[in-house]
């Protein structure tokens, strides 16, 4: 698996299955992402599928990453009636905010 990354940010912006990325693939990546061709390069290190998924996840804004780990609405409703649950919910929310601070 080959990857294309943005030079200025080191973000992975495109992946391609073939073993070779040519100028046409780079051009397509530039058009689909809106990033100038001069700011794209073939990633200099190979990535596994897990590393790719993690890289993409880490590129998402902090608020989107927080939403995935915040308590559900159902958990929040239950916590309204149980002080122990509320303390656990407050701690979970604090942990998520610490893990994904505002940028």
Neighbours of 14 (CB within 10 A): 21
In sequence order, which ranges of the chain are alpha helices (DSSP H)? 23-33, 49-59, 62-69, 73-81, 83-99
pTM: 0.48
What value does the mean pLDDT take over residues 1-30? Answer: 76
For the stretch 84-97, pLDDT in tens is 888 888 899 999 99
From CA 69, how far away is CA 79, in angstroms rounded?
16
Tell me what pLDDT residue 1 has. Answer: 66
For the stretch 46-101, pLDDT in tens is 667 777 777 777 777 888 888 888 898 998 888 888 888 888 888 999 999 998 88
Residues 6+ apart with CB under 8 A from 88: 79
Do 43 and 2 touch, CB atoms closer than 8 A? yes
Tell me what pLDDT residue 2 has. Answer: 75
């Amino acid at each position: 698996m080959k990857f294309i990354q943005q030079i200025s940010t080191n973000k992975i912006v495109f992946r391609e299955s073939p073993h070779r990325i040519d100028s046409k693939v780079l051009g397509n990546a530039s058009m689909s992402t809106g990033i100038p061709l001069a700011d794209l390069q073939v990633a200099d290190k190979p990535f596994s599928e897990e590393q790719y998924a993690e890289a993409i996840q880490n590129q998402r804004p902090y608020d989107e990453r927080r939403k995935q780990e915040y308590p559900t609405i159902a958990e929040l409703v239950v916590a309204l009636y149980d002080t122990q649950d509320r303390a656990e919910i407050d701690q979970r929310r604090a942990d998520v905010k610490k893990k994904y601070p505002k940028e």
